[in-house]
Amino acid sequence: MNAKAEILVVDDEHNTLASLARAFRMAGHEATVCDDAGRALELALAKPFDLILSDVVMPRRDGLALLEDLRAKGVNAPVVMMSGQAHIEMAVKATRLGALDFLEKPISTDKLLLTVENALRLKRLEAENSDLRRRVGKQEIVWTGAAMRRVMGMIDKVAASQSRVCIQGETGTGKELVARTLHEKSTRAQQPFVTLNCAAIPAELIESELFGHEKGSFTGATQRYVGKFEQAHRATLFLDEIGDMPAAMQAKLLRVLEQSEVERVGGGKPVAVDVRVLVATHRNLVELVREGRFREDLYHRVYVFPIVLPPLRERREDIPPLVRYFAAQVAAQNGWKPAEFAAEAIAALTELAWPGNIRELRNAVERLLLLAEGEVTLETVALAFPRASGGVRANGAASASGPLTERLAAFERATIEEELDRQQRNITNAARALGLERSHLYKKCHQLGILLRPE
Say yes or no to pLDDT of 275 above 80: yes
pLDDT bin (cut points 50, 70, 90) of residue 397 is very low
Query: What is the percent of the chain with per-residue pLDDT over 90, rounded to a whole number?
Result: 53
pLDDT bin (cut points 50, 70, 90) of residue 406 is low
Say yes or no to pLDDT of 388 above 60: no
Q: Does residue 362 sit within a domain? A: yes
Reported as a single tens digit per residue, the pLDDT across 210-240 is 999 988 888 878 778 889 999 999 999 999 9
How far is residue 308's CA from residue 219's CA, in Å, rounded to a whole number? 41
Residues in the chain: 455
Higher-confidence position of 242 and 190: 242
Say yes or no to pLDDT of 84 above 90: no
Question: Do residues 267 and 321 both lie within one domain?
Answer: no
Q: How far apart are the first and last CA of the chain?
A: 67
Reported as a single tens digit per residue, the pLDDT across 307-324 is 999 999 999 999 999 999
The whole-number pLDDT of residue 158 equals: 98
Question: Do residues 330 and 397 both lie within one domain?
Answer: yes
Question: Do residues 125 and 47 both lie within one domain?
Answer: yes
How far is residue 49's CA from residue 77's CA, in Å, rounded to a whole number? 6
Domain boundary among 104, 134, 164: 134
Reported as a single tens digit per residue, the pLDDT across 53-67 is 999 989 888 999 999
The structure's pTM equals: 0.61
Q: Does residue 141 sit within a domain? A: no
Least trusted range by pLDDT, from 85-89, 110-114, 246-250, 432-436: 85-89
Number of domains in the chain: 3
Q: Does residue 101 sit within a domain? A: yes
Question: Do residues 176 and 323 both lie within one domain?
Answer: no
Higher-confidence position of 417 and 398: 417
Say yes or no to pLDDT of 251 above 70: yes
Question: Do residues 155 and 268 both lie within one domain?
Answer: yes
Q: Does residue 140 sit within a domain? A: no
Question: Do residues 118 and 250 both lie within one domain?
Answer: no
Question: Do residues 235 and 380 both lie within one domain?
Answer: no
The whole-number pLDDT of residue 118 equals: 80
Which of 127, 130, 126, 119 minimizes the C-alpha distance to 51? 119
Question: Do residues 172 and 275 both lie within one domain?
Answer: yes
Greatest mean pLDDT among 240-249, 329-338, 378-387, 420-429: 240-249
CATH code (residue 317): 1.10.8.60
Higher-confidence position of 222 and 346: 346
The whole-number pLDDT of residue 382 equals: 87
Reported as a single tens digit per residue, the pLDDT across 29-55 is 999 999 999 999 999 998 889 899 999
3-state secondary structure 283-321: CCHHHHHHCCCCCHHHHHHHCCEEEECCCHHHCHHHHHH
Domain boundary among 310, 344, 361: 310
Q: Does residue 113 sit within a domain? A: yes
Using CA atoms, how far residue 388 sits from 59, 274, 323, 356, 420, in Å, is 76, 51, 19, 15, 17
Q: In this structure, which amino acid lies at residue 27?
A: A
Question: Do residues 279 and 368 both lie within one domain?
Answer: no
How far is residue 245's CA from residue 257's CA, in Å, rounded to a whole number? 15
Question: Do residues 111 and 169 both lie within one domain?
Answer: no
Using CA atoms, how far residue 249 sits from 152, 257, 298, in Å, is 32, 12, 11
Reported as a single tens digit per residue, the pLDDT across 354-386 is 988 999 999 999 999 999 989 999 999 988 886
Domain boundary among 291, 310, 329: 310
Q: Find the domain containing 74 and state its range.
A: 6-134
Least trusted range by pLDDT, from 3-12, 153-162, 181-190, 406-415: 406-415
Summary mean pLDDT of the chain: 86
Question: Do residues 433 and 320 both lie within one domain?
Answer: yes
Reported as a single tens digit per residue, the pLDDT across 85-120 is 767 777 777 877 888 888 888 888 888 888 888 877
Least trusted range by pLDDT, from 71-85, 118-132, 156-170, 296-310: 118-132
Q: How, if at all, do strands 235-240 and 193-197 pair? A: parallel
Q: Does residue 179 sit within a domain? A: yes
The whole-number pLDDT of residue 76 equals: 80
How far is residue 41's CA from residue 77's CA, in Å, rounded to a whole number? 12
Question: Do residues 215 and 264 both lie within one domain?
Answer: yes
The whole-number pLDDT of residue 131 equals: 57
